[in-house]
Structure 1
Amino acid sequence: MVLKTPPIPEPGEHLWLREPAELDAWIAAVPDGTPVAIDSEFERTSTFFAIPGLVQIATEDSARLVEPAAVEGSAAFRTWLGDPTQPKWLYAMSEDIELFREWLGESVAGALDIQIAAALAGEGMSVGYARLVEALFGVALGKEETRSDWLRRPLSEAQQRYALADVLYLIPMAGYLLERLDQLGLKTALAEESDRFVHDLQSQSSPERYYLRLRGGWRLSRSQQDALQALCEWREKEARKRDKPRSRLVSDKMLLEVAGRMPTELGHFSGLRELNPVVVRKHGEAMLACIEGSRQRSEPLASYIDGPLTQREQTVYSEVKGLVQQCCESGSIPPEFFAPRKKLEAAVREGIQQQSVPELLASGWRGELLQRCMPDLQRIFQSSSKSTQAQ
């Protein structure tokens, strides 16, 4: 399938919005309900927070390059970001969503991730923007500007063309994919998955929950995971306060080793391989305080890091995965998108514990697709729970 290539305008001052009033006026001119493509360019090499370098916006008829200062000063843009009735098209939107939340303090509503649309339409899992442009338009986008300096001014003409292409191809791409999803009955799935993605990003950004992202944490005991949670929360808040990358303070490996050893005095740090003396000198007392505080915790953590599935859980997982694959094949949906391994493992544990089909598989578009398999799923979880309890 080769779509009509959108015209990329020649770079020039007429494409720039440099003042808040100019951005407000552009937004006011967009008819209600008109989808707008959004992208951003930023730098994050030696800071915790991304430094915005450029925001790109486009409709079918108009594209603009927006200075960060104009975005910061535009009340209309902030209102518009949070308006769920205003469709916003983004591609692989996690970094853009995080940027707007941390930079502007705004949560994005009404966002559709066109990378998710591509997966649902059978174009591939996590397919890159340039690759999809080449597949749908037959155009090879240049990669020269991918890592260029977006904070410098003026931007080169090559940078401006690159930035415009990021939103101008997105408009016809999204239109084509949404039409495909409409034919497949999956437009609701795109909206649900995009909303779920934004919600998951929001919950993952909480300093209190960062420990859940550390690989290998499942090997720790519950008391050690209590310490790991406290250590990660401290580092997250400290990194934000100092605007420094997490690894510049204490690496994940260091935190895992400290939590595993549970030191009670500075001298105990000397035997830890991952911890160098500079880190101990700067942050040793703070880490000891975190560990001691975790010992005083009166309530258990809301969530502990799960280890690999038990043999029985793995058996249930395989049965459920087989049913999911059957339903996905009938609906032409990649099984790895429908239920990624990590999510399906969590769902299997939930289903065994509750003796019922877990929410991930029972609700929304997944529940509709699995409707004919629901009795079999219910039987699996009810019988597996009884078997597990008998072990």
Structure 2
Amino acid sequence: LLGVTLAQSETRSDWRARPLSPAQERYAWEDVHYLLPLHELLAERLERSGRRAWFEEEMAQRGRFVPADPDRYYLSIRRAARMDGLSRARLRALCAWRERAAMALDRPRNRVLRDDVLVELAQASTLDGALLARTLPPGAVRRFGDELVRAHRSAADDEHPPAPERPLGSIAQGAANALREVALQRSESLGMAPELLGRRRDIEACVRHFAAHGELAPIYRGWREALVGDEFRSRLSRTTGLARDFDGGRL
């Protein structure tokens, strides 16, 4: 956009070292030096395209930060849908522990423990040192073993947390594919990144919401509704058996 190519040679250098090298200082300076002219260029393009209102609406929505709930992370693990209630309760407890540990350590969650490891531990009826030794690296056993055992035991026998949403059935998936095609065509005609209108997760949420409530999901209101709302409603309304795909069938 600005005709400037930034050097990437210091990206993986040791930024904990002090003092920083002259090359690192230059890299850090360049990282922020061009932000203001870039902002001015993009703001001018928004004005010229008549899309500033779209941008401001989007930023207002994204600015409403809601911290992630550690107790809900397990819902993002698809294998949880096939687990029995107690195993799912253990998985919820283990995932919640891992989320809090990752935040406390300021590390990516999978650098603490991977999802598949937590699933394996959750499916065990008893968590002991022998299982931990077979499943985890020695350093992780020493550092996290006792906490994992406590989290595993904290799941009560009568807990049956809800399962994650299952994949869309054939009818709902067909509707989602049709909506995505509409969104991609509209994005292309506007010269817009397709993810803004046709992200798969948003499309699936729209299909689920319409089947349950007869209206578009919140993500497809506002400026998105003005672009694809009528076509989305028309396609979904004409999809025979959509509600049945959720109520009594696959979902």
TM range (shorter): 0.7 to 0.9
Matched, 1:250 2:113: yes
- Paired with 1:311 and 1:187, the residues of 2 have a C-alpha distance of 38
- AA paired with 1:168? H
- Paired with 2:232 and 2:111, the residues of 1 have a C-alpha distance of 49
TM-score (norm 1): 0.53
Structure 2 counterpart of 1:346, from 205, 216, 223: 205
Unaligned runs of 5+ in 2: none
- Paired with 2:78 and 2:20, the residues of 1 have a C-alpha distance of 40
TM-score (norm 2): 0.78
Secondary structure of the corresponding residue to residue 54 of structure 2: helix
Change in Cα spacing, 1:366 to 1:265, as seen in structure 2 (3 Å) is same
Alignment correspondent of 1:322: 181
Residue 257 of structure 1, CA deviation: 1.0
Is the strand fraction higher in 1 or 2? 1
Matched, 1:203 2:59: no
Secondary structure of the corresponding residue to residue 149 of structure 1: coil
- Which range is displaced more, 368-377 or 341-350? 368-377
Secondary structure of the corresponding residue to residue 203 of structure 1: coil
Structure 2 counterpart of 1:294, from 148, 152, 155: 155
Q: Pairwise CA RMSD of aligned residues?
A: 3.4
Structure 2 counterpart of 1:238, from 80, 98, 101: 101
8 A contact 2:179–2:235 mirrored in 1: yes
Alignment correspondent of 1:170: 35
Percent pairwise identity: 32
8 A contact 2:89–2:160 mirrored in 1: no
- AA paired with 2:35? L
Matched, 1:359 2:221: no
Q: What are the superposed Cα offsets for residues 367-387 of structure 1, whole Å, 9 maximum, x if unpaired?
A: 121244254145146852156
Alignment correspondent of 1:385: 243
Is the helix fraction higher in 1 or 2? 2
- AA paired with 1:344? I
- Which range is displaced more, 347-356 or 373-382? 373-382
Change in Cα spacing, 1:241 to 1:360, as seen in structure 2 (3 Å) is closer
Alignment correspondent of 1:306: 165
- Paired with 2:112 and 2:210, the residues of 1 have a C-alpha distance of 39
Residue 140 of structure 1, CA deviation: 2.0
Change in Cα spacing, 1:250 to 1:160, as seen in structure 2 (3 Å) is closer
- AA paired with 1:293? S
8 A contact 1:328–1:335 mirrored in 2: yes
Residue 255 of structure 1, CA deviation: 0.4
Q: What are the superposed Cα offsets for residues 118-160 of structure 1, whole Å, 9 maximum, x if unpaired?
A: xxxxxxxxxxxxxxxxxx2332211122223334444333323
Change in Cα spacing, 1:382 to 1:288, as seen in structure 2 (3 Å) is farther
Unaligned runs of 5+ in 1: 1-135
8 A contact 2:127–2:152 mirrored in 1: no
- Paired with 1:384 and 1:178, the residues of 2 have a C-alpha distance of 42
Point out which structure has higher relative CO (alpha carbons under 8 A, 6+ apart).
2
- Paired with 2:225 and 2:97, the residues of 1 have a C-alpha distance of 39
Change in Cα spacing, 1:150 to 1:289, as seen in structure 2 (3 Å) is closer
Structure 2 counterpart of 1:182, from 28, 47, 53: 47
Q: What are the superposed Cα offsets for residues 220-247 of structure 1, whole Å, 9 maximum, x if unpaired?
A: 3454333211101112323444566645
Alignment correspondent of 1:376: 234
8 A contact 2:78–2:164 mirrored in 1: no
**How many equivalent residue pairs?**
249
Q: What are the superposed Cα offsets for residues 228-283 of structure 1, whole Å, 9 maximum, x if unpaired?
A: 11101112323444566645653322101112x2423527837x964457655664
Alignment correspondent of 1:227: 90
